Amino acid sequence: MKIQELKDIFPEGLFEGEVRFMEPMRSHTSLRIGGPADIFAVPRDLSSLINIHKRLRKNGIPAFPLGSGTNLLVKDGGIEGAVISLSFFRRIGVLSQDSEYVHLAVEAGALLQRLVHYAVENGYSGIEGLAGIPGTVGGAICGNSGAHGYEMKDALVSVEILNKTGSVKKTDAEGISFGYRSSGVLSDELILDAELKLEIRDTEEVSKKVENFLRMRRESQPVWEHTAGCVFKNPPGLSAGKLIDEAGCKGRRIGEIEVSTLHANFFINKGAGTASDFVRLMEEVGLRVKERSGVILEPEIKIVGRDLAHG
Ligand code: EPU
């Protein structure tokens, strides 16, 4: 679809929020990589979000929900259709509480680290191991983020989802099949908010655990660089980082993408890196690991978008 046609579908002032066209996705990903999204919509409230979604559906335009772009590689040709940013959906609040447990209502665009911080401040226990994981709560539910034996699903009671037909439905956590870094949330579904259940504990105790996990992460992962987190999933019983390290890949570089010398399962964008170099490095690393150990690595990061058109 041509830009003008898209602009006709989304004339200015139609919704509360913003709609941009040909928005560079490198400004919205932790890797600082990604070509332009045809449409980049930033709804300000739920009714605007639902209306944008409806308009997209009516015109057969695919919608891609964006959290904070941290586990994501957007290809150099950008994203066909619309990216919907949830940056206005960040509320965290208490639904109910007794002497043992608290139930929280959390909007999908809330940063996971804001939630962890909120839990520390109030002595809520159950997500300590998620300390330091970048991204939003919606993204963490979709990919069942986890570390140190904690997983997002363990704190989840229910989620509200906007499905592809445009209706909002509430689903209990038991109704979603979670796996290692995966969930049964479909790619054309959009998580709006979630109910979490955490245990009420001593603030000091929760805080100590979180500090410890943060320290471990700072020591073993390149947290200050432009990365998308772990690139490959851990094969059952093994560590992808260790396998990549043993295959001699630390420091290997294609263009401006480099395998971290600190933790080999992180690829760093050293500057103006491209998605095609990132994918080539993934292929090279995958091949070396297969040759060295016979293990086939599977991507953990989500790869979306189109290749750059040539000619
Ligand atoms: N190791 C190496 N070389 C490396 C990296 C790791 O020898 O370059 C060794 C470590 O020394 C350690 C073992 O491999 O003995 C495991 O490493 P680590 O403790 O760092 O854990 P991991 O299995 O590599 C997983 C998750 C991380 C999560 C950490 C901490 C995956 C793919 N990785 O890493 O999650 O932060 O445990 O719990 O599940 C992510 O999901 O994006 C992610 C980074």
Over the stretch 259-309, which tens digit does the pLDDT of each residue have? 999 999 999 999 999 999 999 999 999 999 999 999 999 999 999 999 998
Q: Whose CA is nearest to atom 43 of ligand 1?
A: 230
**Distance from Cα 230 to the centre of ligand 1, integer Å:** 8
Distance, CA of 148 to CA of 291 (rounded, Å)? 29
Radius of gyration of the chain (CA): 20
Q: Whose CA is nearest to atom 36 of ligand 1?
A: 147
Q: Whose CA is nearest to atom 37 of ligand 1?
A: 147
Q: Which two tokens stand for residue 102?
A: 């608290």
Q: Whose CA is nearest to atom 41 of ligand 1?
A: 230
Beta bridge partners, 290, equal none
At residue 310, does pLDDT exceed 70?
Answer: no
Q: Rounded to 5 degrees, what are φ and ψ at 133?
A: -80, 120
Atom of ligand 1 nearest to the CA of 71: 42
Over the stretch 197-234, which tens digit does the pLDDT of each residue have? 999 999 999 999 999 999 999 999 999 999 999 999 99
Number of Cβ within a 10 Å radius of residue 47: 11
Over the stretch 124-180, which tens digit does the pLDDT of each residue have? 999 999 999 999 999 999 999 999 999 999 999 999 999 989 999 999 999 999 999
Q: Which residues line the pocket of ligand 1, CB cutoff 6 A?
A: 147-148, 220, 229-230, 233-234, 239-242, 245, 263-265, 300
Give residue 14's pLDDT.
Answer: 83
Over the stretch 5-26, which tens digit does the pLDDT of each residue have? 888 988 888 889 999 999 999 9
Over the stretch 51-91, which tens digit does the pLDDT of each residue have? 999 999 999 999 999 999 999 999 999 999 999 999 999 99
Distance, CA of 63 to CA of 71 (rounded, Å)? 18
Atom of ligand 1 nearest to the CA of 132: 36
Mutation to probe ligand 1, out of 145, 239, 285 (largest number of atoms < 8 A from CB): 239
Atom of ligand 1 nearest to the CA of 260: 8
**Distance from Cα 128 to the centre of ligand 1, integer Å:** 17
**Distance from Cα 241 to the centre of ligand 1, integer Å:** 6
Beta strands in the chain (DSSP E): 17-24, 36-43, 63-66, 72-74, 79-85, 92-97, 101-107, 124-125, 146-147, 150-151, 156-162, 168-172, 190-200, 253-254, 257-259, 267-269, 302-304
**Distance from Cα 39 to the centre of ligand 1, integer Å:** 36
Distance, CA of 113 to CA of 214 (rounded, Å)? 11
**Distance from Cα 239 to the centre of ligand 1, integer Å:** 6
Give residue 97's pLDDT.
Answer: 97
Distance, CA of 161 to CA of 170 (rounded, Å)? 6
Q: Which two tokens stand for residue 307?
A: 């290749």
| Residue closest to 199 by CA, chosen among 288, 306, 127, 112 | 127
